């Protein structure tokens, strides 16, 4: 059973949304590789790393088990499920089929004020990259991209992409952060917003294609 490992962000608070906050942080830790495939973790040990009680962590882990992100190991805890290279390729392919044309269409259709409202989130991504905070990076990155896709007005599409993102793994972010190269990837979000606000559909396609390429390239390499 893994008790050590990288420190996870302290999560203070309580309430109905608290369980989901813990679940989101755990998902981000899985995606970033802070919690690795086949490791077995107990709720109390993870709670200690988050600085919270075991109850919301245990509840959040049950949510993740329903999503197939962890498996229950009787009398031991929860094992992080592995994702094959083929699965990652498939997830990225489906995301490209959905996200590139949908985002490109927003260049002509999206309200400029709604696009501008995403700039603070894009700046959060850059700040997280500079700080080397991978869990904050993934959290802000998800809020940015799902918020952008939501502007297309198709809630089901957003949920499909949310699920694909949860199943992805971006272990290469750790090396990029350590090498000081993560900021360049983070700034693509600002570049994308600028292209959208300029109504430059082809530029949006290029940035989104390059950005999703990182998911199976720079960001994915262990």
User: pLDDT band at 157, cuts 50/70/90?
Assistant: very high
**pLDDT score for 11:** 42
**pLDDT score for 3:** 40
**pLDDT score for 51:** 84
Tell me: pLDDT of 2 over 70.
no
Pairing outcome for strands 77-80 and 40-41: antiparallel
Whether the full predicted model's pTM is greater than 0.75, yes or no, is yes
> What average pLDDT is seen over the chain?
87
Cα–Cα nearest to 181, from 221, 142, 139: 221
CA–CA gap between residue 129 and residue 107 (Å, rounded):
26
pLDDT 10s digits, 162-175: 999 988 888 778 87
pLDDT 10s digits, 67-105: 889 999 998 999 999 888 899 889 999 999 999 999 999
Full DSSP string of the chain: ----SSPPPP----STTHHHHHHHHHHHHHHHTSS-TT-EE-HHHHHHHHTS-HHHHHHHHHHHHHTTSEEEETTTEEEEPP--HHHHHHHHHHHHHHHHHHHHHHHHHS-HHHHHTTHHHHHHHHHHHHHT-HHHHHHHHHHHHHHHHHTTS-HHHHHHHHHHHHH---THHHHHHHTT-HHHHHTHHHHHHHHHHTT-HHHHHHHHHHHHHHHTTTTT--
Tell me: pLDDT of 6 over 70.
no
**pLDDT score for 10:** 44
Cβ of 179: how many Cβ atoms within 10 Å? 8
């Amino acid at each position: 059973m893994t008790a050590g490992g990288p420190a996870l962000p302290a999560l203070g608070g309580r309430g109905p949304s608290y369980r989901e906050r813990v679940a989101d942080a755990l998902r981000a830790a899985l995606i970033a590789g802070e919690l690795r495939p086949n490791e077995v973790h107990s709720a109390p040990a993870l709670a200690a790393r988050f600085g919270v009680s075991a109850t919301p962590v245990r509840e959040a882990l049950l949510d993740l088990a329903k999503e197939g992100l962890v498996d229950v190991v009787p009398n031991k805890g929860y094992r992080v499920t592995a994702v094959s290279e083929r699965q990652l390729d498939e997830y990225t392919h489906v995301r490209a089929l959905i996200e590139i044309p949908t985002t490109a269409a927003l260049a002509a259709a999206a309200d400029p004020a709604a696009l501008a409202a995403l700039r603070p989130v894009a700046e959060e991504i850059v700040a997280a990259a500079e700080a080397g905070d991978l869990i904050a990076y993934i959290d802000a990155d998800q809020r940015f991209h799902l918020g952008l896709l939501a502007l297309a007005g198709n809630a089901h599409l957003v949920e499909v992409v949310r699920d694909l993102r949860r199943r992805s793994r971006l272990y290469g972010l750790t090396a990029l952060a350590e090498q000081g190269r993560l900021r360049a990837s983070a700034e693509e979000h600002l570049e994308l917003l600028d292209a959208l606000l300029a109504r430059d559909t082809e530029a949006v396609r290029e940035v989104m294609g390059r950005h999703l390429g990182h998911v199976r390239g720079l960001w994915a390499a262990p």
